[in-house]
Amino acid sequence: MGRHQVDAPGRLHLSSAPRALRRARAAAACLAACAAAALPALAQVAPATAPAASEPVSAAACTFCRERLQTVGALRAALPADWSVRSEPEPVLGGEMLVVRAGPAQAPRLLLVHGLGQNGFTDWMPVLPALAQRWQVTAVDLPGFGYSSTRLAKLSPTNLARVLAALLQREGAGPVTVLGHSMGGAVALRLAEQQPAAVSRLVLVDVAGILHRTAFTKHLASLPVTVAGVPEPLKEPVARLRDLGNLLVERAFGLPGDPTRVLRESEALWALALRDRASANAAMALVDEDFGAALRTVTQPVWLIWGEADAVAPLRTGELLARRLPQAQLLTLPGVGHVPMVRATQDFLRLLATALEQSPAARAGPPPPAGPLQDLHCKDQVDMHYGGRWREVHIDGCMAVRLTDLVAERIVVRDAIVQMLGVQVRSPDIALEVTNSELVATASDFAGRVAIRTDASRIDLAGVRLQADGFAVQARRRSRLVVSVSEIRDAFHRGPWHDDRELEGEVLDARPAAPPPVRR
């Protein structure tokens, strides 16, 4: 072990640091550079544009944030006198954690979990007084955020869920409803998976993460316009330009080697490389986690509230969770972005009242066919939307095509850009054939002798189930597959699939490689 030269309190001089630490720092710097455009938005540190007129910004959060008040004592003096404001020892990751309690002691319990950014629990201040009238509310600053501190730790959703589980165990008053925003929604989902007896209901608001990091970053880097919002002559160029942006992100994440591999090998090394950078630490850990198991095992009622104009957490994630969690329903706010409790407080409270008081509605299945099935053909069209039941669907040379709740026996996509949501294909041969195209499929099912055959295409799957008598995926010319929280059942593998890989002239072997041991 080399000697460490200290050139500032608590900081190591990198020229004399161990090789592993230098590699970890390099990996962190590399990943931070890749996410330079993403992290500020994700952490809500500085919006790039002013909010729309329909989204007035509340000043409540910054009125109480640590940046302004500095100390817990000053915060306690600024909040209502009947609220409990305490900095408590945090036994899981170490340090002190701010815990704010408000509302009647005999009321049902509600735990608030904030997202990234140093506002911490104060992001909830626009709605917390109203919630405290009917709920016994507990709000926290997670370790490393706001008024809370932490020792060196990886601030992953799994570790932060352990922190909340320990808090609930100390309070010991039965299951709670958990309301989580952005990263806090992912932490709440992980908590419900790890400690199902502690959580009675989830309300998840504009959840960040869940998608594979490549898919999530593509959304953050995408153009802030949709094809539907531009004049007809510009629709095809805009569709192709958005496609180019997705290609560039995929290539950035497809560079040889994985810069986070050295960090994953040791949580201590991860924490050391990202010390004093809580938002970067938590954001990188967030997009690195696979929530596939949570989607399969969380059975509590789940409500999802989403701003339809969210530039950080795509509405696609909300649709995925609503369709793949066993008991879930999605509510949306048109024209609202990533922080609806701040940007559209009254509308948010209206939807939240529904989510806290009612049960999610069951999703209806597709209607039975009205007669003999026909074929659907799309040829050289732009901005088309299809649904219903069909025998075969052929999409040739079409841009910005959307298939929603469509059922077919076969789909063939050539020279096209297509999005699918809730599509079901069951075929005796090849369920989905994609050639020289970009395809994004969410919460869809493909079953056949071969589930997907791809040829010189880019395919982004999220919450997709593939079932095949042989291999689930066959590739001819080089194709890229970005896969989030999906499942495979073929002749050689059954299990989850969360990956980013290229295939060429081969079939998919989705069996996971043995992960390196994690040293805590």
Cβ count near 20 (within 10 Å): 14
Q: Which are the contacts of 312, defined by CB distance < 8 A and separation ≥ 6?
A: 41, 42, 44, 182, 206, 208, 220, 337, 338
Which helix (H) or strand (E) segment holds residue 131: the answer is helix 128-131
Q: How confident is the model at residue 450 (pLDDT cuts 50, 70, 90)?
A: very high
Sign of the torsion angle spanned by Cα atoms 39, 42, 45, 49: positive
Q: 3-class DSSP state for residue 117?
A: coil
| pLDDT attached to residue 217 | 77
407-431 average pLDDT score: 97
467-480 average pLDDT score: 95
Share of the chain above pLDDT 70, in %: 77
Q: How far apart are CA 193 and CA 185, in angstroms?
A: 12
3-class SS string, 196-259: HHHEEEEEEECCCCCCCHHHHHHHHCCCCCCHHHCCHHHHHHHHHHHHHHHHHHHHHHCCCCCC
| pLDDT attached to residue 257 | 54
Residue 379 or 220, more confident: 379
CB 487, CB 497: distance < 8 Å: yes
| pLDDT attached to residue 41 | 45
| pLDDT attached to residue 208 | 94
Q: Which among 323, 253, 324, 265 is positioned nearest to 292, based on CA atoms? A: 324
pLDDT tens for each residue of 49-106: 333 333 334 445 578 988 888 899 999 999 999 999 999 999 999 889 999 999 999 9
pLDDT tens for each residue of 226-279: 545 444 444 444 444 444 444 444 454 554 555 566 666 667 766 777 777 788
Q: How far apart are CA 400 and CA 78, in angstroms?
A: 51
156 has pLDDT over 50:
yes
149 has pLDDT over 70:
yes
Burial of 463 (C-beta count, 10 Å sphere; 0-12/13-18/19+):
buried
CB 406, CB 388: distance < 8 Å: yes
| pLDDT attached to residue 216 | 80
Structure token digits, residue 463: 């919450």
What is the chain's mean pLDDT, rounded?
Answer: 83
**Helical H runs in 259-344?**
261-264, 267-273, 278-288, 292-297, 315-324, 340-343
Q: Which among 454, 453, 451, 442 is positioned nearest to 403, based on CA atoms? A: 442
Q: How far apart are CA 30 and CA 262, in angstroms?
A: 12
Sign of the torsion angle spanned by Cα atoms 269, 272, 273, 276: positive
pLDDT tens for each residue of 482-513: 999 999 999 988 999 999 999 999 888 776 65
Q: How far apart are CA 469 and CA 490, in angstroms?
A: 6
What Cα–Cα distance (Å) separates residue 144 from each residue in 151, 182, 189, 330, 369?
8, 16, 20, 31, 55
pLDDT tens for each residue of 314-360: 999 999 999 999 999 999 999 999 999 999 999 999 999 999 999 99
Q: How confident is the model at residue 222 (pLDDT cuts 50, 70, 90)?
A: low
Q: What is the largest distance, in Å, between two alpha-carbon atoms of the chain? A: 79
CB 412, CB 395: distance < 8 Å: yes
| pLDDT attached to residue 57 | 40
Residue 53 or 379, more confident: 379
3-class SS string, 65-79: CHHHHCCHHHHHHHC
| pLDDT attached to residue 492 | 87
Q: Which are the contacts of 13, defined by CB distance < 8 A and separation ≥ 6?
A: 4, 5, 6, 7
Q: 3-class DSSP state for residue 274?
A: coil
